[in-house]
Structure 1
Amino acid sequence: MAIPARDSKHVRPQRYSADRLHRRLSVAAIVAGFLVAGMTVEAQDTPKSALLVISKREHALAIVDPSNLKVIAKVPVGDDPHEVTASSDGHTAYVSNYGSGAFHSLAVIDLVRHQPEKAIDLGALTGPHGLTFVDGKVWFTAEGAKVMGRYDPVAGKVDLVVGTGQNRTHMISVTPGGDHIITTNVSSGTVSLIDKESVRMPGPPPGMTPPPGAPRPPQGGPGGRTDWNQTVVRVGNGSEGFDLSPDGREVWVANAQDGTISIIDRQNKSVVQTLQVNVAGANRLKFTPDGRRVLVSTLSGSDLTILDAHTRKVEKRIPIGHGAAGIVMQPDGTRAFVACSPDNYVAVIDLNQLTMTGKFVVGDEPDGMTWAARP
């Protein structure tokens, strides 16, 4: 039988004796103590080397202990996260909020405290996607603005923007020192090779006197500033996943629409070979740390394709699920991890045996991955 509601104005307030109140507070303190103790037992510190994996569906970054493949913590990273990079000291992660070219922020995560920090608003640099951390700075692509940019965490500002003039500037790689940038431009079917070079400062036209206070160009030799020069290399349709060979000589590019791989000679800045390897839908491409093999994932098939980098032929195709996206190599070269987005797990690949040895779950629709290492 339902109990009729009483008017709050007619409810007599309860009175507790001092002893009864003390007993209630003591019980509450004990319960709180158990809860805190449980949280303390379950909480884990981030190991010095950790695997970071994005869960796109859960809008979270999973921090994974590579020794047991267990998720240590999950941290919210905002809407539509795609790629992740970590600072050189392993303390901070940065995640691109993509939004198919519409969003304009980078999420920032404290990897030690497992907490989000204030996001970086990129303003007009919309559609951030590809990320890398080089020379103490965050380098990113911005599809909506057709540029790549660089964010200085110390100064708290974007300190470099270089336009590509290409459609869907998507993934990025930067060489140590930050003098050479590589991006893939998906819809244009091109790769941008962007190099930092010294330029000569031209003096005034003959017969013209420089205005008062204008800097004098140096006499002879290059001028006192640098510029960025871009070479656009046509590869194949849907150029997206790519990697720079460990020796720095070649760029291998997976062309998703054509199902091919283009190999660019960096010195000559031209395609020297196109491999017909049937990798339609190719999403990511990565060299093993020793440079012997190349792994290619695809969202359009069940296999991870492994190529011999020397013979440039398919060595093996490993069934791993119903499609895959991100690839990351364990630094010691023993394992690779592949984000099987449609299956909601990460596949573990033994790089010695070339077999899938397991899988683990970090959250729905895993995608971008990277390593975070603390000294």
Structure 2
Amino acid sequence: MHCTIGHTHRPKRAAASVALAVLLGAAAGEASAAAVAYVTSETNGVGVIDLDQMTLTKTIGLGKDGPRGLSLTADGRRLLVANKSGDLSAIDTSTGKVVARVKIGKNPEFVRVHRGLAYVTYEPGDSGPPPQAANQGAGKPEGKPEGKPEGKPETEAAGGKGGKGGHDDDDGANSPPAEVAIVDLKTMKVVRSVKSGHETEGVEFSPDGRELLVTNEGDDTVSVYRTGTGKLVRTVQMDKGSRPRGIKASPDGKQYVVTLENTSKFVVLDAGTLKTVKTVDTKLGPYGVAFDPAGKHLLIAAARDKTLQVFDAKTYEHVTDAPVGQRCWHFSFTPDGSKVLMACGRSNAVFVLDAKNNYQTVSQIGDLPLAWGIVTSPPSQGSIESR
């Protein structure tokens, strides 16, 4: 009896092992095939790029919504896209279908996902802010009276922000300040809206995840908030007229780099004190900023000069320049770190640069009119996302 039972169950175990091996092999193949980049095209939806073939495989249509900012959930199953039509789309990445929409407000732009919440910058305008909940005290500095930020009108040179979809849609000193809507990704509802400065642009999180930092172009400031609650911690003044846009934490978490578009510089802030420890000249119109996956180089998209600039990540000394296309605001490394993908809006393309060969352009991926932002799945380092 004992021998019969052993003889009967061994083939079943073997079959189960074979089946498991087949499933694991299939899953590994799917994971490899799933290496993609998502690119928002302001007039054409979201392009999907196969990172193995470096080709545009499909476009997720969003009508006339004008998608710009984008960010992936931690599991990669949902792509969150800010639409100029005033809402946030949640796209199922397995099907390419829009599964939810959340009303945000006028001119939503930058999106970052962090710990189950999406942070979306927008301008309230005449229609007022989105629904708020549990927002008592949000937007007031800790231990400081609430102050009104000093705004400034739009003063962009050619090739600046007026290039967003061909419209000058930024708010000025006399309009309400921008806000950051906080969306619960479980309920897909706005749970809080935080007052910011004028023309809020870049979004970054502190290495410990406790603070949210945003750049405010119109006020020449960087605002710091508690994540989740939106409590204002402090505001850091940049040079007047400098227009801070991009912001990125250093790999060791000890510094932040902020690009100043109008003065063509970037500043390095001490993460503890938020005091400027270094100022570095760049080519014209720096915006997107990111460190490479190895933490060796800092990359700056000098959009008005059509250049990707590379600096040493420790000393911030200039290393090299690589010519790229027109209005290249955002970029991302591929997951393996071998390439850089730059969304070049006025070139209607993504430029592919070889990160292992002096960042030279090796190809272009077209049919992406007014390309705005780019992220990858699996995630990598970039001017929008950080893995």
TM above 0.5: yes
Q: Which residue does 2:135 correspond to in 1?
A: none
Query: Quick one: which of 22, 35, 41 aligns to 1:91?
Result: 35
SS at match of 1:342: helix
Q: Distance in 2 between matches of 1:234 and 1:369?
A: 28
Paired residues of 1:88 and 1:133 also in contact (CA < 8 A): no
Q: Is 1:131 paired with 2:61?
A: no
Partner of 2:183: 194
Aligned to 1:321: 283
**1:193-233: per-residue Cα shift (whole Å, max 9, x none)?**
22246xxxxxxxxxxxxxxxxxxxxxxxxxxxx45342111
Superposition deviation, residue 327 in structure 1: 1.1
* Partner-residue secondary structure (3-state), 1:145: coil
Is residue 141 from structure 1 mapped to residue 141 from structure 2 by the alignment? no
Distance 1:294 1:113, change over 3 A: same
The one of 193, 214, 219 equivalent to 1:253 is: 214
1:367 to 311, 323, 329: 329
1:301 counterpart SS class: coil
Q: With structure 1 as the length reference, what TM-score do the two structures score? A: 0.63
Match of 2:231 in 1: 270
Structure 1 unaligned residues grouped into runs of 5+: 1-86, 198-225
Distance in 2, matches of 1:107 and 1:371, equals: 17
Q: 1:267 to 1:123 in 2, by over 3 A?
A: closer
User: 1:192 offset after TM fit, Å?
Assistant: 1.3
Residues 185, 240 of structure 1: 8 Å contact kept:
no
Whether the 8 Å CA contact 2:82–2:110 is kept in 1: the answer is no
For the 8 Å contact 1:328–1:337, the answer to whether it is kept is: yes
Distance 1:260 1:90 in 2: 39
Is residue 112 of structure 1 aligned with residue 52 of structure 2?
yes
What corresponds to 1:168 in structure 2? 107
- What's the CA shift for 1:105? 0.7
Q: Indicate the residue corresponding to 2:61 in structure 1.
A: 121
Q: How does 1:1-375 map to 2 (within 5 A)?
A: 91-98=35-42, 103-123=43-63, 126-134=65-73, 135-165=75-105, 167-175=106-114, 179-186=116-123, 187=171, 188-196=177-185, 226=187, 228-278=189-239, 280-374=242-336
Mapped contact 1:128–1:140 kept (Cα < 8 A)? no
Code of the aligned partner of 1:314:
T
Aligned residues: 253
Give the conservation status (yes or no) of the 8 Å contact 1:138–1:152: yes
Question: In the TM superposition, what is the alpha-carbon distance from 1:160 to its structure 2 partner?
Answer: 2.2
> How far apart, in 2, do the equivalents of 1:117 and 1:348 lie?
30
Instruction: Among all aligned residue pairs of Structure 1 and Structure 2, give the percentage whose two residues are the same amino acid.
Output: 28
Change (3 A) 1:268 1:113: closer
Distance in 1 (CA, whole Å) between partners of 2:122 and 2:250 is 23
Preserved contact between residue 345 and residue 365 of structure 1 (Cα < 8 Å): no
**Residue 341 (structure 1) shift:** 0.9
Q: Measure, in 2, the Cα distance between the counterparts of 1:256 and 1:352.
A: 27
Distance 1:292 1:175 in 2: 20
CA distance in 1, matches of 2:77, 2:317: 36
Measured after TM superposition, the shift of residue 106 of structure 1 is 0.8
Contact 1:277 1:314 in 2 (8 A): no
Find the aligned partners of 1:278 and 1:147 in 2 and give their Cα distance.
33
Q: Could you give the per-residue CA deviations for residues 90-129 of structure 1, whole angstroms, max 9, x where no partner exists?
A: 721111112xxxx2511121121121112110135x1111
Give how far 1:171 is off: 0.7
Aligned-residue CA RMSD in angstroms? 2.2
User: Could you list the per-position Cα deviations for residues 290-347 of structure 1 after superposition, in whole angstroms to 9, with x for gaps in the alignment?
Assistant: 2211111132112111111111111111001122111122123222111011111111
Retained in 2: the 8 A contact 1:89–1:373?
no
TM-score of the two chains, using structure 2 as the length reference: 0.61
What is the Cα deviation at residue 146 of structure 1? 1.3
Structure 2 residue runs without a partner (length 5+): 1-30, 124-170, 172-176, 337-377, 379-387
What is the distance in 1 between the residues matched to 2:68 and 2:188? 24
